[in-house]
Chain A
Amino acid sequence: MVKFYQHTSSFEHAWDNVTYAFWLRYPNPFASHVIGCDVIDRQVDPVSGVLRTTRLILKQGVLPRWGRGLIKNTDAYIIEESEVNPRTQTMVTRTKNLTHVRVMQVEETQTFTVHPENSKWTQVKTEARIISELKWGLTGRVEAFGINKFMDNSVRARKGMAHILERLRQNAALAASAPATAAAAAAPDC
């Protein structure tokens, strides 16, 4: 069984800053379950100028009681592949879980573009696919859980991004008034 999810939202921040915040987004107070994040590969395509990155993210999973029998180890590895095209001002990210795929596979694609109605804002289109191949009548419950969990996570991810974006805005304001202090205050993340 497969479930689809689609959502469009926006940030009241410029595209440049939103894509920058994407790299800085861990750690943040809304992602305490993220234990580690590594860059596996990264290169700029010499022809198109597109930056391609592969990251591996380790999350500590939270499972409902009935799920604990299915999964002994709740550490979850996520692969994140992304492309940033500065010429077309488009960033596409795709994430999927590498572990526990037998129980549930979640694939999420996000596209960040300049907002069509306000060039100082950013539009984010999210598409997700949640698949479970479990048998014994658990599939429906797993997928319903998957959808709910995914929505919760989306809300938290959004809050995390908003938190980082606000910090970038504050740093920029600080830099305008006192450049030296701002440079010391800017703390780059993952």
Chain B
Amino acid sequence: MSSSIGEKCTQIKQEYDGCFNSWYSEKFLKGDASPQCDDLFFKYKECLLKTLEEKKLDTLLADARKDNPFPASSSTSSASSSSEPNKKN
């Protein structure tokens, strides 16, 4: 199992991954999408959000996620590229 970007979150992340993997293969792919790992995901995310803040990745991520990666119909997304943040780390 891969590690979390935040070392202290790796254990809870791997617990969550284990839960997700069995849900995905045994439930979701078989047509049952009812949630199963929400509690673990909540705990994992709590840890992860702190890490993202510490590493100052939260704003980088928020900016990246403004672009909708799955536009409903048209595939033209280059028009707004000038609004991309031009950050230098």
Interface residues of B (CB under 8 A from A): 1-6, 9, 13, 16-18, 20-22, 24-25, 28-29, 31, 33, 35, 41, 44, 48, 52, 57, 60-61, 64-65, 69-70, 84, 86, 88-89
Contacts and interface: CB of A to CB of B under 8 A. Distances in A.
A101 B41 CA distance: 30
Contacts of B9: 38
Contacts of A102: 86, 88
A19 B20 CA distance: 13
A27 B14 CA distance: 12
Contacts of B52: 56
B31 A38 contact: no
B41 A51 contact: no
A190 B2 contact: yes
A185 interface: no
Contacts of B33: 44, 49, 51
A190 B10 CA distance: 11
Contact of B57 (A20, A34, A44, A77): A77
Interface of A: 16, 19-20, 23-24, 26-27, 34-40, 42, 44, 49, 51, 54, 56, 58, 73, 77, 79, 81, 83-84, 86, 92, 94, 96, 98-99, 101-102, 187-190
B28 to A, nearest CB: 6
B13 to A, nearest CB: 7
21 contacts: A16-B25, A19-B29, A20-B25, A23-B20, A26-B2, A36-B2, A37-B3, A38-B5, A38-B6, A38-B9, A38-B13, A40-B61, A44-B35, A49-B33, A77-B57, A86-B28, A96-B64, A99-B89, A187-B1, A188-B22, A189-B17
A83 B84 CA distance: 24
A122 B21 CA distance: 20
A86 B33 CA distance: 10
A29 to B, nearest CB: 13
B54 to A, nearest CB: 13
Nearest to A87: B31
A34 to B, nearest CB: 7
A60 B84 CA distance: 24
Contacts of B88: 102
A42 B60 CA distance: 19
A27 B4 CA distance: 12
A189 B89 contact: no
A114 B55 CA distance: 40
Given A23-B20, A94-B70, A102-B88, 5 more contacts: A36-B4, A39-B44, A49-B33, A73-B89, A102-B86
